[in-house]
C-alpha cells in the first residue's frame, strides 16, 4: 500500500494553493497523485479550473490543474426495514456530514455523530433529538453504552467523552492526545473503548477509570474501523494498509494479521459469537475469516464499486454493506439477497439494530449542490481545492492539457481536518483499480460454524494451525 502524505499549512488562501503545488516527491518518484487542499475565507462561488507549471528544486517541472469549489455534506440519516426494503424514518437536523450511527440496546434510539461537532440521540418515531455538544473538532464516531444510560463520542479534538442521554450533559472526558479519526467500538461490558487515531494506532480507553489503557501499534496507514468480539477479549481493526489486525485486549499483543484484500480495507465486524470476522474493502469484496482454511479469507460477496464498511446481523444471517446502495448479503454463501436503493451519492456508514429489524445509514454527497457547507473550527465555510499533477515531458507541447483538466474535474481527495493552527491535508494516489479477476461463485463453508471453538483464543490457534497445514 502507498502511504498517506500529510501536510500542515497555516491558514490563508495563498498558502493553501502552495500546499497543492509544493510537494517535490511527485517529481522525484514520478507519481501522478490526486491532490487536495482546503482554503478558508475564499470565494465559494469560484469553481474555475486553472493550470500552473511548477519548477522543482531538481530542475524538473510539474503541471498542476486545480479547481476550487465549496465543500458540502449530506447531513441526513435514513432508517430502513431490510425485510421489506422500505424507508421507515428520515432524520434531519445535523449541519455537517454524518459519519457514524449506533442503535441503543433496545433498538428504539439512534446515536449519530457528524462533522458539525455534535452528536444527536434520536428517539425513532418520537420527540426531537437530544443534542450532545461540546467537542472542538469533527466527530469520528460514537456508541451507546451497553446499559443504555450513556453514550461515548470520539473526536478530532483528541478526546473521548461520555454523555448523559437524558440531559445531554457531558459527564466524563478522557484526553487521548491525538486526533481520533475512525468509528469507535465498545465491549459488551461497557468497560473498554477502542478507536483509531491519526497516528495509525488503535487507542484503547479504560472507561471505568477514565484513562488510556494503551496504544496498539502495527498498522502503517489509517485505521478505518474497530470491532470488539462478544467475549470482550479480542479486538479487530481494519486499515488502509490492506490488512485486518487482530489483538488480544488483555495483553495488548497482536494475535494475527489478515491480508487478502486488493487495496484498502474499509470495515470489519465479528460474527455473533466471535467465531469469524467479516471485512470489506475498496476492491468491492466482502470476506469472512475463520470459518475456512482460506489464508486470504473467503470471498462471500463481490460488487463493482468499493464497499466502505459493514455491519453483521445479530444472529449472523446476513451482512449489511454500504456503497452505491445498501446491500444485504446473505451468509454463509454471501449471495446478495436484497439491495436497497439509497439517496443520490453513496451510502457511507451502516448500523443494524439489536433485533435485526432496522438498518440505519448515513450518506455522503460532496457535490456543489449539497445543502450543508462544511465549516472549520471557527464556523467559516471551507472551500475545497482539487488538483491533478503530472510530470511535464521534455516537449511541453506533448502534455495533454485537456486530459489534465478532465482529471481535475474527477479528482478524488480527502480533507483530514481543519485545526485552529492550520489545515491538516493529505495527498494520496488514486485508489487501486477494482479487482476484475474472475472468481467462482463462493463455495459452501468448509468448516461448520458449530464445530468452531467458542473461545476466540482457541479459534485463532486453530486457524493458524490449519493455515500452516494447508500451505505446507
Q: What is the mean pLDDT of each run of 10 residues along the chain (472 residues)?
A: 33 33 37 46 59 62 63 83 91 90 96 93 92 91 95 94 94 93 95 93 96 95 94 95 94 93 93 94 92 84 89 94 90 78 78 96 66 61 61 59 52 39 42 42 32 36 41 40
Q: Decide if 452 contacts 466 (C-beta within 8 A).
A: no
CATH class, 72-367+441-467 region: mainly beta
271 vs 231: CA distance, rounded Å? 11
pLDDT of residue 455: 35
Average pLDDT, the chain: 75
pLDDT of residue 58: 64
Q: Where do the CATH 2.130.10.10 domains begin and end in the chain?
A: 72-367+441-467
Nearest to 235 by CA among 212, 258, 207: 258
Helix (H, G, I), strand (E, B) or coil at 14: helix
426 vs 5: CA distance, rounded Å? 5
DSSP 362: E
Nearest to 373 by CA among 387, 362, 384: 384
pLDDT of residue 88: 95
Residue 385: HSE in the Cβ half-sphere, 13 Å Cα cutoff: 28
SS3 readout for 25-92: HHHHHCCCCEEEEEEECCCCCCCCEEEEEEECCCCCEEEEEEEEEECEECCCEEEEECCCCEEEEEEC
385 vs 391: CA distance, rounded Å? 20
20 vs 43: CA distance, rounded Å? 17
Residue the block writes with cell 440531559: 167
**Phi and psi angles of residue 447, each rounded to the nearest 5 degrees, phi first:** -130, 115
Exposure letters 6-36 (e unless 16+ CB within 10 A, then b): ebebebebeebbebbbebeebbeeebebbbb
- Starting at the edge strand found earlier in the chain, the sheet holding 359-364 runs 86-91, 77-81, 359-364, 346-352
Nearest to 118 by CA among 170, 80, 71, 78: 170
| Residue 445, H or E segment | none
Residue the block writes with cell 505446507: 472
Sign of the torsion formed by the C-alpha atoms of 332, 336, 340 and 345: positive
Q: Decide if 218 contacts 254 (C-beta within 8 A).
A: yes
79 vs 349: CA distance, rounded Å? 12
pLDDT of residue 244: 97
Nearest to 329 by CA among 320, 87, 287: 320
For 76, 111, 138, 152, 278, the CA distances from 326, given in Å and listed in that order, are 15, 19, 25, 26, 17
C-alpha radius of gyration, the chain, whole number: 22
355 vs 353: CA distance, rounded Å? 5
Q: pTM of the predicted model, to two decimals?
A: 0.75
220 vs 199: CA distance, rounded Å? 9
pLDDT of residue 392: 60
128 vs 124: CA distance, rounded Å? 10
89 vs 204: CA distance, rounded Å? 34
Q: Decide if 336 contacts 307 (C-beta within 8 A).
A: no
Phi-psi region of 83 (alpha: psi -120 to 50; beta: other; left: phi over 0): alpha
Residue the block writes with cell 500500500: 1
Amino acid at each position: 500500500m502507498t502511504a498517506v502524505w500529510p501536510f500542515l499549512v497555516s491558514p490563508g488562501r495563498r498558502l493553501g494553493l502552495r500546499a497543492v503545488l509544493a510537494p517535490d516527491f511527485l517529481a522525484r518518484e514520478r507519481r501522478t497523485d490526486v491532490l487536495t487542499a482546503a482554503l478558508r475565507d475564499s470565494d465559494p462561488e469560484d469553481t474555475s479550473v486553472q493550470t500552473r507549471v511548477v519548477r522543482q528544486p531538481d530542475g524538473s517541472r510539474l503541471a498542476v490543474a486545480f479547481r476550487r469549489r465549496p465543500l458540502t455534506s449530506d447531513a441526513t440519516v435514513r432508517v430502513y426495514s431490510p425485510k421489506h426494503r422500505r424507508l421507515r424514518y428520515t432524520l434531519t437536523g445535523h449541519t455537517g456530514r454524518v459519519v457514524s450511527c449506533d442503535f441503543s440496546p433496545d433498538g428504539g434510539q439512534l446515536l449519530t455523530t457528524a462533522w458539525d461537532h455534535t452528536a444527536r440521540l434520536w428517539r425513532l418515531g418520537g420527540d426531537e433529538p437530544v443534542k450532545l455538544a461540546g467537542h472542538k473538532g469533527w466527530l469520528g464516531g460514537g456508541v451507546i453504552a451497553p446499559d443504555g444510560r450513556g453514550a461515548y463520542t470520539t473526536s478530532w479534538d483528541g478526546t473521548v467523552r461520555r454523555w448523559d442521554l437524558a440531559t445531554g450533559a457531558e459527564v466524563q472526558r478522557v484526553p487521548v492526545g491525538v486526533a481520533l479519526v475512525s468509528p469507535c467500538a465498545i465491549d459488551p461490558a461497557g468497560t473498554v473503548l477502542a478507536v483509531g487515531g491519526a497516528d495509525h494506532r488503535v487507542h484503547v480507553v479504560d472507561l471505568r477509570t477514565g484513562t488510556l489503557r494503551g496504544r496498539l501499534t502495527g498498522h502503517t496507514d489509517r485505521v478505518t474501523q474497530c470491532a470488539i468480539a462478544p467475549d470482550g477479549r479480542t479486538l479487530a481493526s481494519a486499515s488502509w494498509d490492506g490488512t485486518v489486525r487482530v489483538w488480544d485486549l488483555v495483553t495488548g499483543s497482536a494475535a494475527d494479521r489478515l491480508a487478502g484484500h486488493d487495496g484498502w480495507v474499509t470495515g470489519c465486524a465479528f460474527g455473533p459469537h466471535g467465531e469469524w470476522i467479516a471485512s470489506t474493502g475498496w476492491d468491492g469484496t466482502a470476506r469472512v475469516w475463520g470459518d475456512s482454511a482460506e489464508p486470504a479469507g473467503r470471498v462471500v460477496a463481490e460488487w463493482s464499486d468499493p464497499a466502505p464498511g459493514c455491519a453483521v446481523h445479530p444472529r449472523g444471517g446476513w451482512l449489511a454493506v454500504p456503497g452505491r446502495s445498501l446491500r444485504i448479503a446473505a451468509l454463509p454463501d454471501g449471495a446478495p439477497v436484497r439491495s436497497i436503493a439509497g439517496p443520490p451519492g453513496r451510502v457511507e456508514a451502516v448500523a443494524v439494530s439489536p433485533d435485526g429489524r432496522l438498518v440505519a445509514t448515513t450518506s455522503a454527497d460532496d457535490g456543489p449542490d449539497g445543502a450543508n457547507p462544511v465549516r472549520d473550527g471557527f464556523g467559516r465555510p471551507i472551500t475545497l481545492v482539487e488538483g491533478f499533477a503530472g510530470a511535464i515531458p521534455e516537449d511541453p507541447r506533448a502534455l495533454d492539457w485537456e486530459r489534465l483538466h478532465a482529471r481535475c474535474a474527477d479528482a478524488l481527495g480527502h480533507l483530514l481536518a481543519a485545526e485552529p493552527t492550520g489545515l491538516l491535508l493529505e495527498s494520496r494516489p488514486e485508489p487501486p483499480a477494482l479487482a476484475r479477476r474472475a472468481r467462482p461463485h463462493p463455495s459452501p463453508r468448509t468448516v461448520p460454524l458449530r464445530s468452531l471453538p467458542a473461545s476466540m483464543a482457541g479459534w485463532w490457534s486453530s486457524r493458524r494451525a490449519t493455515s500452516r497445514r494447508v500451505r505446507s
